[in-house]
Chains A and B, each alone.
Chain A
Amino acid sequence: MSASFLEVNDVRKAYGAIRAVDGVSFAVGPGDIVGVIGPNGSGKTTLFNSILGQIEPTSGHVAFCGEDVTGMSPLELSRRGVGRTFQTLQVFGQLSVRDNLIVAAQEFQGSLGARLFARPDAGLGQAADQMIELFRLQHVAGLPAGRLSYGQQKLIDIAMAFMPRPRLVLLDEPCAGVNPSLVDQLRELLVTLNREQGGSFVVIEHNMDFIMRLCPHVICMVEGKVLARGAPADVQSNRQVLAAYLGN
């Protein structure tokens, strides 16, 4: 990996006696795609939420571009160029697909007061249309997002995270509930976005094939700790990782 961009240093999150995240450290460089795998309940989403200010870590530090962002709110992090998707679908159901994409980036256009007098599309109509085309959502662009299929909403959810052209995106199980043909499309989209926007990604995923083909670097978490890290093939063949997934 190249020089660090996101640095997670000894982050811990405990709920009473339960250590959901137990001393996790890793770094992400500019343009990197890092995969995070692990069985259910291994602390992956808690780690994401601790990095992204959704919950405050019990201890440890998170730095983004050299700045300590530990415990910073999601709003402040988004303004620093950190985007995310959630494990469950998180679209704005009553807004059209196009409006979902515009709202995902409009808050980065001028001040709050200036946006009151801005054009209805906040000057983002073209960017939204390009994203709609990239994600092949043209035929549903004007429909309320809440009325679309799960897979389509998943695509909107991911497209929204990329609309403000973030420097870092944390994707939480982007393939969950998505059919296999859409998984391939999703991987290609993420590769394209990584190449064109130059952003860094951290991806939590249970779909091993997806992770192995997308991420040059993989971290495996078990019981809140990092069990293994390295190239996908190395992690996949690690005996401890296999034991954690398959049992002894």
Chain B
Amino acid sequence: MTVRSTWPWLVGMLVVACTSFFLKRSDIYLLSLCSVYLMATYGLNLTVGYAGQMSLGQAAFLGIGAYIGAILMTKAGWPFWCVLPVAAIVCFVVGLVIGFPALRVQHHYLAFATLGFNVLVFLALRNEEWLTGGTFGIANIPRPTLFGYPLDTEFRFFWLTFASLGVLMTLLWLLLRSPWGRAFAALRDNPIRAESLGVNITAYTLFAFAIGAAAAGIGGVYYASLVQFVEPGPFHFSTSLMMLLAVIVGGAGRFFGPLLGTVVIILLPELLRASTVPALQFMQKWYLVAFGVAVVLLMVWLPGGLLSLGDRWRRGRVGQ
């Protein structure tokens, strides 16, 4: 990933963000939700795509971040900006702990270990009513202010979320460009060889989980403030599956893979559902079927994700 190759993506992101000037409130909300999920999927891409550690527990970290945000902002009256680092640190530490099974098991065994963690967090959020409000959740979560300027409208909050996503992506980009990024890739491609070359696979495995979890935790705080209400439902393991799908559909281990994947996973069903093109009217009823078929076909024909199309095209040209 070169500096030059990132420019088209950045321009594209900015163009999409600028459409918010012309969108209705519900669409801006959807863009904000997309940005929030992107924070979590970017973290997951580090864990799964770059470091090669399977995880089906990312929604749990999103939930932990969201509930830390909700509890501290509503019950303790903490400002949004103080809650963010707390959520990031707590998720980082929990991520470190969750990384330990990865030192012993891999692949589908690790997937089930992390899935178990997600189920555990979901049950805790649902059953520990004294803290989480159980299925009733926590309401009236405030939107933040920035230097006294209230970010209480959908439009303002979207720009905060979008800018924060930009900061998070930049930090992850710098991380992946550093020698750490190469060590993560070595861990993914061949851990035995990596260890024989002095790569501390224990440390990098744990950090891959911890940093990925911290990114999701930050996303969780934004989620709480965006929806202004949290309940356990959105942090079910099915959300973890959706995030993993977003990473894989976009292209795991590719920097802009989660961006493309999240847009496809979140926006494509909505676009199909709301289609007004006469030939696509039937999609209003069949959009989920069409979406499912599209994902199956994509996995069959492009297991490397949508971004692997470029590689395939380049290889084809070299072959000619």
Q: Which one of B15-23, B88-96, B192-200 is at the interface?
A: B192-200
- Residues of A close to B183: CB separation below 8 A: 103, 106-107, 115
Partner of A91, one of B177, B178, B193, B199: B193
Q: How far is the CA of A92 from the CA of B51 in the complex (A)?
A: 12
- Residues of B close to A120: CB separation below 8 A: 177-179
Are A99 and B180 within 8 A (Cβ)?
Answer: no
- Residues of A close to B177: CB separation below 8 A: 120
Are A99 and B182 within 8 A (Cβ)?
Answer: yes
- Residues of B close to A122: CB separation below 8 A: 179
Q: How far is the CA of A115 from the CA of B178 in the complex (A)?
A: 7
Q: How far is the CA of A147 from the CA of B185 in the complex (A)?
A: 16
With a 10 A CB-CB cut-off, give which of B186, B190, B197, B200 has the most chain A CB atoms: B197
Chain B interface residue count, Cβ-Cβ cutoff 8 angstroms: 24
Are A116 and B200 within 8 A (Cβ)?
Answer: no
- Residues of B close to A102: CB separation below 8 A: 179, 182
Taken residue by residue from 106 to 123, chain A's Cβ proximity to chain B (1 for < 8 Å, 0 otherwise) reads as 111100100111101010
Taken residue by residue from 197 to 212, chain B's Cβ proximity to chain A (1 for < 8 Å, 0 otherwise) reads as 1111101000000000
With a 10 A CB-CB cut-off, give which of B182, B195, B198 has the most chain A CB atoms: B198
Say if the beta carbon of B175 comes within 8 Å of chain A: yes
- Contact A92 to B190, CB < 8 A, known contacts A106-B183, A116-B175, A117-B178: yes
Q: Which one of A76-84, A210-218, A235-243 is at the interface?
A: A76-84
Say if the beta carbon of A60 comes within 8 Å of chain B: no
Say if the beta carbon of A93 comes within 8 Å of chain B: yes
With a 10 A CB-CB cut-off, give which of A102, A106, A122 has the most chain B CB atoms: A106
Partner of A90, one of B179, B192, B198: B192
Question: Nearest CB to that of B201 among chain A residues?
Answer: A75
Are B185 and A164 within 8 A (Cβ)?
Answer: no
Are A75 and B179 within 8 A (Cβ)?
Answer: no
Partner of B195, one of A75, A92, A106, A164: A75
Say if the beta carbon of B27 comes within 8 Å of chain A: no
Q: How far is the CA of A73 from the CA of B103 in the complex (A)?
A: 14
Q: How far is the CA of A127 from the CA of B195 in the complex (A)?
A: 21
Q: How far is the CB of B113 from chain A (nearest CB, A)?
A: 23
- Residues of B close to A108: CB separation below 8 A: 198
Say if the beta carbon of A135 comes within 8 Å of chain B: no
Say if the beta carbon of B128 comes within 8 Å of chain A: no
- Residues of B close to A91: CB separation below 8 A: 189-190, 193
Q: How far is the CA of A102 from the CA of B177 in the complex (A)?
A: 13
Q: How far is the CB of B262 from chain A (nearest CB, A)?
A: 22
Partner of A79, one of B185, B194, B198, B253: B198
CB contacts under 8 Å to A, within B146-200, are: 175, 177-180, 182-183, 185-186, 188-190, 192-200
Are A103 and B178 within 8 A (Cβ)?
Answer: no
Q: How far is the CA of A83 from the CA of B253 in the complex (A)?
A: 28
- Residues of A close to B197: CB separation below 8 A: 78, 83, 103-105, 107, 160, 164
Are A95 and B195 within 8 A (Cβ)?
Answer: no
Q: How far is the CA of A146 from the CA of B253 in the complex (A)?
A: 15
Are B199 and A103 within 8 A (Cβ)?
Answer: yes
Say if the beta carbon of A26 comes within 8 Å of chain B: no
Q: How far is the CB of B212 from chain A (nearest CB, A)?
A: 16
Are B192 and A95 within 8 A (Cβ)?
Answer: no
Question: Nearest CB to that of B178 among chain A residues?
Answer: A116
Partner of A92, one of B175, B178, B193, B196: B193
Q: How far is the CA of A55 from the CA of B45 in the complex (A)?
A: 33
Q: How far is the CA of A103 from the CA of B197 in the complex (A)?
A: 8
Are A93 and B196 within 8 A (Cβ)?
Answer: no
Question: Nearest CB to that of A77 among chain B residues?
Answer: B196
Partner of A103, one of B175, B182, B201, B203: B182
Question: Nearest CB to that of B203 among chain A residues?
Answer: A112
Are A95 and B196 within 8 A (Cβ)?
Answer: no
Are A52 and B196 within 8 A (Cβ)?
Answer: yes
Question: Nearest CB to that of A107 among chain B residues?
Answer: B198
Q: How far is the CA of A122 from the CA of B192 in the complex (A)?
A: 22
Query: What are 13 sample pairs from A and B whose C-beta atoms fall under 8 A apart?
Result: A52-B196, A83-B196, A86-B193, A92-B194, A95-B186, A95-B189, A105-B197, A106-B179, A108-B198, A115-B178, A117-B178, A120-B178, A160-B197
User: Shortest 4 CB-CB distances between A and B: which pairs?
Assistant: A107-B198, A90-B193, A92-B189, A78-B198
User: Which positions in B face A, CB cutoff 8 Å?
Assistant: 175, 177-180, 182-183, 185-186, 188-190, 192-201, 203, 253
User: Which positions in A face B, CB cutoff 8 Å?
Assistant: 52, 54, 73-75, 78-79, 83-84, 86, 90-95, 99, 102-109, 112, 115-118, 120, 122, 146, 160, 164
Supply 13 further A-B pairs (C-beta < 8 A) apart from A54-B192, A103-B197, A107-B199: A73-B195, A75-B195, A75-B201, A78-B197, A83-B197, A86-B193, A93-B189, A104-B197, A106-B183, A116-B175, A118-B179, A120-B177, A160-B197
